Structure 1
Amino acid sequence: MEIISLTHPLNECPALLQNKKLAVAIGHFDGVHRGHQNVISQAVQIAKNTGALSAVMTFLPHPKEVLGQGDQYFSCLTPPVEKQALFKELGVDVMLVMKFDLEFASISPQQFVDEVLRPLQAEHVVVGFDFTFGAKGRGNPELMRTLGSPDITVDIVEPLYENGEKVSSTFIRAALEKGDIALATTLLGRPYEVEGIVVHGDARGRTIGFPTANVGLSKPYVTPCLGVFAVKAKVAGKTYFGVLNHGMKPTFNKEEIRPVLEAHLFDFHQEIYDEPISIEFHSFIRSEKRFGSVQELIEQIAEDAKQAKHFFGLA
């Protein structure tokens, strides 16, 4: 899959796309959840049927971040590198990354079609039913159809629902915040995953018989609620089952500090400091709590590990 960075206005078609026709799905696609996958897969199928290249156009940074419409968008479900991998899995030929700044945010819907889509030689566009474009979101899919006619066709994908609610990045964020990992997994179509580096902690875990890998996140991910989770970790070329605590370590820390992610991996005995690690969240076990003694903590961690092993069918 090719990756092309774009800046408005497009004075000419990028070299890789010259003399090519595009079927392009447009959106920010944070999460690349099942609803997003429907939009992208439709563009991929149209490309196959028409002999065009399939493309995804996304925006960096998040438009709502640039426009100051909510602090939550400084965190993400899928950083650009992970989006890239997910788009590739869906069969996309080209990832178009449009720089989103205040200048681009001020263009009209007509300019978006004439100064972005037409220079890209987009023949087919696929968007979700609630897609907006142009200054102050004045453009909608029906207007894009009108402005794109007759050379650009626009397909509008209807929403996907789960439990009566539209599948969306906001819905997934809310599920993670509540610790509803099963729902987040259903909405995404895969387990929620974060990536980082194994960093040095206070090494207390090994002193009580449960050594942990402290995860320093590599990107500003959305993180689940505080608590204990059954997880899978990919590190040093292998996958391990384990339990992860996301919290303040209240048994040891009397003052509130920044939350940490600590994973205890089953049957793992290597030194992995500074190694890349990815964590998949599979099940919520319990909320974080303070214990009256270290012995109570040890007993609870053993019970947490037992529950995680049962969830994964290991015991």
Structure 2
Amino acid sequence: MKKIEITYPFDSRPMPAESTSLAIGFFDGLHLGHQAVINKAISKAKKLNITPAVMTFSPHPREVLGKTTFMGYLTPLKEKLYQLEQLGIEQVYVVTFNQAFANLEKEKFISNVLVPLNVSAVTTGFNFTFGHRGLGTANDLMKLGKSLFEVEIVDPIIMGNEAVSSTRTRNALSTGDISLANDLLGRPYRIQGEVVHGDKRGRQIGFPTANVEPDQPYYLPVHGVYVVRAYFKESIGYGIMNVGVRPTFDKSAVKTKLEVHLFGQSPHLDLYGEVLQVELLHYLRKEAKFSSVKSLVEQIELDRTNATQWLSDQDIFLDDRRNILI
């Protein structure tokens, strides 16, 4: 997949010559609604024998305009590009969202951005907005671009009598409803990061953990303990992850930490510096402060039992082929 970074106003570099079927949107999360837009653009590309492409933006407009507090991405740019490639997109325009771009009038967005990119077809969601102050709507895009390229507007995907959306996905993660979040995404929510050194308390109490430092600004779920699936190079494993501040040990901590205990992990295994991709499968319980290390150990043992039972109920069997760290 080809990634093309562009900043408005365009410089003197020649624009790509190939015609594209372009899906436009921020697409944070690449949930089922976003996938419907992208799949429609891919279908159009096949019909017209042109390149399926996406236009997205970086950073998030909220970071630039500062209207509300920005809490992180469901799919930071690196993760978004990975997911787009999995969907079959061949070319991605990453437009720098800066003040100059934010001030662009909606008519200029058509003439100064889309037309130079040799777009033959544009697909977007029903709630897409563009131009200065977001005054341009999907219907405006259709009216303004009708003599220049084909435009298709995709209706929302409804799940549980409500539209699938990034906001709904964040709300599900913030309440521990991982099942709903993953249903909205059409895949498990994933966080990737490097394994960094911690204080090795988990190893000392018999539950070695990999301390994962997210390598991108992910939206983090509510503090608690989760059943997870982890990918390490070409291997796969299952375990539990604590998301939180470890109140039993760190009474004044404020930074959220991700600690992954993988079933079968050897206390002597060295994962430091390696990258783990961690998928959230199920929410077990909220984070708690324990009165003693003994109480904490008993709870972790119960967490392991409950996690193993949940995995078994999902027909996920933990054998030597599934446990990467035995």
TM bucket, shorter chain? over 0.9
Whether the aligned pair in 2 keeps the contact of 1:243 and 1:305 (CA below 8 Å) is yes
Whether the aligned pair in 2 keeps the contact of 1:75 and 1:221 (CA below 8 Å) is yes
Deviates more, 1:27-36 or 1:250-259: 250-259
Q: Match for residue 215 of structure 1?
A: 212
- Give the alignment's Cα RMSD to 1 decimal: 1.4
TM-score, with length taken from structure 2: 0.92
> Match of 2:99, as an amino acid?
L
Once the 2 structures are TM-superposed, how far is the Cα of residue 67 of structure 1 from its aligned partner? 1.1
- TM alignment of 1:129-168, pairs within 5 A: 129-168=126-165
Is 1:276 the counterpart of 2:301? The answer is no
Whether the aligned pair in 2 keeps the contact of 1:243 and 1:265 (CA below 8 Å) is yes
Deviations 1:44-101 (A, max 9, x none): 00000011111100001112221112222x5111111111111111111210111110
- How far, CA to CA, are the matches of 2:3 and 2:253 in structure 1? 42
- TM alignment of 1:1-315, pairs within 5 A: 1-10=1-10, 14-15=14-15, 17-18=16-17, 20-72=18-70, 74-269=71-266, 270-313=269-312, 314=317
- How far, CA to CA, are the matches of 2:133 and 2:24 in structure 1? 17
Whether the aligned pair in 1 keeps the contact of 2:33 and 2:156 (CA below 8 Å) is yes
Unaligned runs of 5+ in 2: 319-326
Structure 1 segments (4+ residues) deviating >2 Å: 9-15, 253-257
Whether the aligned pair in 2 keeps the contact of 1:244 and 1:263 (CA below 8 Å) is yes
- How far, CA to CA, are the matches of 2:50 and 2:232 in structure 1? 39
- How far, CA to CA, are the matches of 2:148 and 2:54 in structure 1? 19
Deviates more, 1:257-266 or 1:127-136: 257-266
- How far, CA to CA, are the matches of 2:124 and 2:146 in structure 1? 16
Whether the aligned pair in 2 keeps the contact of 1:47 and 1:53 (CA below 8 Å) is yes
Unaligned runs of 5+ in 1: none
> Match of 1:64, as an amino acid?
R
Deviations 1:177-230 (A, max 9, x none): 101100000000000000111111111111111111111111111111011000
Whether the aligned pair in 2 keeps the contact of 1:58 and 1:97 (CA below 8 Å) is yes
Whether the aligned pair in 2 keeps the contact of 1:12 and 1:119 (CA below 8 Å) is no
* Percent of residue pairs identical: 42
**Secondary structure of the structure 2 residue equivalent to 1:118:** helix
**Secondary structure of the structure 1 residue equivalent to 2:284:** strand
- How far, CA to CA, are the matches of 1:58 and 1:157 in structure 2? 17
Once the 2 structures are TM-superposed, how far is the Cα of residue 14 of structure 1 from its aligned partner? 4.1
Deviates more, 1:145-154 or 1:109-118: 145-154
- How far, CA to CA, are the matches of 2:28 and 2:172 in structure 1? 15
Whether the aligned pair in 1 keeps the contact of 2:208 and 2:265 (CA below 8 Å) is no
**How many equivalent pairs are there?**
312
> Match of 1:182, as an amino acid?
S
- How far, CA to CA, are the matches of 2:290 and 2:96 in structure 1? 49
Deviates more, 1:299-308 or 1:82-91: 82-91
> Match of 1:309, as an amino acid?
T
Q: Match for residue 321 of structure 2?
A: none
Once the 2 structures are TM-superposed, how far is the Cα of residue 287 of structure 1 from its aligned partner? 0.6
